């Protein structure tokens, strides 16, 4: 569960509501696993009052992993991109080791199943060019390693021959599918977000589809 508030006082009120709900229904929160994070607006205040849950001061963190996605207080996606890059490397090495003697068709099928899922990549909107290039290179090298291709063979050519989407095609596809699900959702908050044309996320999604591939 996540509580969002524009102020500390608002967050304290939300926590108090949760405490009353837990007391009425015989529930108990795990204070050790509950943390707070501050998303600063500009420079923001240096001293931020603490938030208490059941009389215990909640730890304030700079990064937190929620549902597998790494969230940082500056809303930068570099750490989450690095997490997915490492996960991709592990999956690729596992495939290359266990299925080295399989046919090319089997390897392509395995690559599609295990290496095309960039978890939460549609949420990557604030990152450095270096971070996104690292995972793109990792994706290209993963296919080369699995198929035992030369290190410097053409990435676009090898993907076209195997009819496998390249890195940019995967990102565009994930964004388009996610955007469609937002617009067709019955949740008013999600539909409002999807129709907010001046939103930074919306502008990033448009730029991904409109601009040419950047390496």
List, for residues 151-188, the tens digit of each pLDDT value: 888 888 999 999 999 999 999 999 999 988 988 888 98
Q: Tell me: the pLDDT tens digits for 68-89? A: 999 999 899 999 999 999 999 9
Q: Tell me: the pLDDT tens digits for 103-145? A: 999 999 999 999 998 999 999 999 999 999 999 999 999 999 9
- According to DSSP, the residues that pair with 52 across neighbouring strands are 57
Strand, coil or helix: 56: strand
Q: Between helices 129-147 and 78-98, what is the axis angle to 10°?
A: 10
Strand, coil or helix: 126: coil
Q: Are strands 35-36 and 59-60 parallel, antiparallel or unpaired?
A: parallel
**Is the separation of the CB atoms in 23 and 47 below 8 Å?**
no
Q: Find the radius of gyration of the CA atoms of the chain.
A: 22
Residue with the two structure tokens 């909107």: 125
Residue 52: CB partners within 8 Å, gap ≥ 6?
A: 12, 15, 58
Tell me: pLDDT of 215 over 70.
no
Q: Are strands 69-72 and 59-60 parallel, antiparallel or unpaired?
A: unpaired
Tell me: pLDDT of 57 over 70.
yes
49: buried, middle or exposed (CB in 10 Å: 19+, 13-18, 0-12)?
Answer: exposed
Helices then strands, counting H and E runs in the chain, come out as 8, 6
**How crowded is residue 121: how many other Cβ atoms within 10 Å of its Cβ?**
20
* Ranges of H-type helices in 25-154: 78-98, 104-115, 129-147
**Is the separation of the CB atoms in 109 and 103 below 8 Å?**
no
Structure token pair of residue 209: 């589809």
């Amino acid at each position: 569960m996540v509580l969002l508030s524009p102020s500390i006082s608002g967050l304290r009120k939300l926590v108090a509501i949760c405490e009353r709900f837990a007391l009425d229904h015989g529930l108990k929160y795990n204070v050790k696993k509950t943390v707070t994070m501050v998303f600063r607006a500009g420079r923001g205040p240096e001293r931020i009052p603490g938030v208490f849950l059941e009389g215990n001061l909640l730890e304030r963190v700079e990064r937190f992993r929620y549902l597998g996605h790494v969230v940082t207080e500056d809303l930068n996606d570099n750490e989450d991109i690095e997490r997915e890059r490492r996960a991709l490397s592990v999956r690729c090495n596992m495939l290359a080791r266990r299925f080295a003697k399989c046919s090319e068709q089997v390897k392509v099928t395995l690559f599609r199943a295990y290496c095309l899922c960039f978890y939460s990549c549609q949420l990557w909107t604030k990152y450095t060019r270096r971070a996104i290039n690292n995972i793109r290179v990792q994706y290209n090298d993963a296919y080369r390693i699995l198929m035992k291709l030369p290190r410097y063979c053409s990435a676009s050519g090898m993907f076209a021959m195997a009819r496998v989407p390249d890195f940019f095609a995967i990102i565009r596809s994930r964004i388009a599918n996610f955007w469609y699900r937002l617009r067709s959702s019955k949740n008013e908050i999600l539909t409002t977000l999807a129709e907010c044309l001046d939103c930074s996320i919306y502008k990033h999604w448009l730029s991904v589809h409109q601009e040419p591939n950047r390496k």
